[in-house]
Structure 1
Amino acid sequence: MNENDQRERYGVLIVDDHPVMRDGLRAVIEQEPDMEVVGEAADGREAIEQFQKLLPDVMLIDLQMPDVDGLQAITTIRNEFPDATIIVLTTFPGDARVVRAFTLGATSYLLKTARRDEIIKAVRGALFGRHTVAPEVAQEIASHTGEQGLTEREVGVLKLVAQGQSNRDIADSLCISEDTVKARMKSIMGKLGAEDRTHAVMIAIRRGFMDSQP
């Protein structure tokens, strides 16, 4: 798409489970003469259906939603529409969450604290292939640059810890030895700089390691 191309309006699909947030975004977007809201969705499943039906030029999507979350929706949509332009607009930063969103196909990543003009600038930029990352998000990523992330197996152990399972329970659930569970927990706590199991879970949730897998 060339920035000098002429067309009447670019269609925007808004995806958020909070009606007030959707209403606010609609009001902001429809003040722009070259944009219009072509649809809304309250969860990831609706987002997929609406995208398939409406084929918007850009989609604004939250990550934390019931049923199908934003990351799962992004995965499904990008698999079917590789050129889909998707902007994450969420409350949560977290370096692991951000990196995963971009890996799955997000174009830009903004926080809901962004000003109206920042959102519009990001939408317009995304239409022409430009990526936008909220400063707070970029800082979060930079603060963990070079650190080793959690493996899928380590995340699996940590999710069971979050459910309150003991090492013995986790070993039985995953069909591994208790010593393996202890070794994985030691690795997890070292990578996250956690003081104990509960602290490790809290850090992993904040950084986005515990998000659902598409």
Structure 2
Amino acid sequence: MSTLLHLDSSPTGDHSVSRALTAEFVKHWQAANPGSTVITRDLTTTPLAPVDGQWIGAAYTPADSRTAEQKAALALSDTLTGELFAADEFVFGIPMYNFGVPGAFKLWIDQIARVGVTFAYVDGKPQGLLNGKKAHFFIATGGDYSAASPFAAYNFVEPYLRATFGFLGVVDTTFQSAYGAAALNYGADRAEFLAPQLKAIHAAFANA
């Protein structure tokens, strides 16, 4: 039985494009994987905080030597990394904010990128420990940051995600970007805008 981790990071609720795409993906994934399990994580309602000195000290302390305070500092991180290891696949909804990922998503990354847990150093070289996982990224951007756009160089979202997850051992990835979502704020038809995005999701499952 397969398990999917479904994670959203947009704070705009029902207006979110990335949430609409991940929801559609999850629906089809469940249909394609009867009896499967979905772990849902909403980063806008998860109490994330920047890592601090106590967190760093705890992360670099051997597990059997941690104090009660250190264990408490890593409790959320333990939960979040546990979700990653429990899942076979991941689906992430990520809007672009100021050319990068939302703050909540970066805080999540800082919680799950842990030496000895999701990556290690072997003979002085980093080695990802989230091996054998597959990740699907649905990105929504206000403007057009596609490869053919003059603003393509401002898109730091996909390169950041590829580098970060590749470092953690997740190299089987798919990316789908909904460029130009700002048009919805100026009267563009939502159904029409989403139609090609939803069609691409349907096609991916039809060809699976």
Category of TM-score, reference length = shorter chain = 0.3 to 0.5
TM-score (norm 1): 0.40
**Higher normalized contact order (CA 8 Å, seq sep 6+, divided by chain length):** 2
Structure 1 or 2: more strand by fraction: 2
**Which has more radius of gyration?**
1
Kindly indicate which of the two structures has a greater share of residues assigned to helix: 1
Q: What is the TM-score of this pair, normalised by structure 2?
A: 0.41
